[in-house]
Amino acid sequence: MQETGVDVAANILDVVVGLLEQDGYDAVQLRTVAKRAHVSLTTIYQMFGNREGLILAAVRSWMANNAYVELQPSEAETLAEGLVRLIRRVFQPWEDSPRMAEAYYRARKAPGGHQLDVQGFAFVVPAAEHLFAGLDRDYVADIGLVLIDLCYAMLGRLVDGSADLPAIMSALERVVKRLTGDNTLLASTRSESESASRSSDFDIDEFSRKAPDAGARGVDSLLLARYRPAAESEPRA
């Protein structure tokens, strides 16, 4: 049976994912891919445009098959519980395949990398809609903006080895708790006697470690367009 274009593309992407997982981002060279997939360089260029487009397509395929699965909501979960569950589900495969974490991080910064954001929204937003039902839209948008940039920065720390997944998830869980909880009492000014009697657990070293920047911010406008009313998203005259 003759292979279809879809079969050929899937075979090529399988080869690329294999190279990414085994040897990393820099190991993906078009001639190597063509040889292992038993296709011509012309076929690869026709289907994916260039090396960056090929790697981007492979990362998207891997994410769809590994990170964006089993996102269905649990029963009676709180906003914080649901957000942590979704974040953990997306991050977990990267612990098992650290080179794919690097591939995602680098592909997102490459031309066309916004497609990874679009893909993530297509899978995660429907899985999170039950958590946001009835909530203020600006509040939802603000939570999204913070978590998107923070998750990407934390992914950078996972990639450069400055933090492992347990440490990252612990930090993200704490942030989610603060974003979704009532912090009025915690943010209130203490009396001098109370401040003197209670030592702070604040560790300035946590903020001196190397942490990548938040990266591309095109996703901000996507999130705002998704949750803000049309009247608010239109520029004012």
Domains of the chain: 5-63 (1.10.10.60), 70-233 (no CATH)
Residue 173: what pLDDT? Answer: 94
pLDDT in tens, 138-155: 999 999 999 999 999 999
**Which residue stretches of the chain have pLDDT < 70?**
1-3, 190-237
Place of tokens 């690869």: 44
Task: Tell me what pLDDT residue 205 has.
Answer: 55
How far apart CA 129 and CA 8 sit, in angstroms, is 36
Asked whether the beta carbons of 84 and 173 are under 8 A apart, the reply is yes
**pLDDT of 186:** 77
What residues have CB less than 8 Å from 196, skipping those under 6 apart? none
For residue 220, the model assigns a pLDDT of 43
Q: In the prediction, which pLDDT does 78 show?
A: 92
Question: For residue 203, what pLDDT is reported?
Answer: 55
And the tokens for 214? Answer: 């938040």
pTM of the predicted model as reported, rounded to 2 decimal places? 0.76
pLDDT score of 176: 95
- The per-residue pLDDT for 8 is 94
User: Which pLDDT does position 195 carry in this prediction?
Assistant: 58
User: Which helix H or strand E contains 141, and what residues bound it?
Assistant: helix 137-160
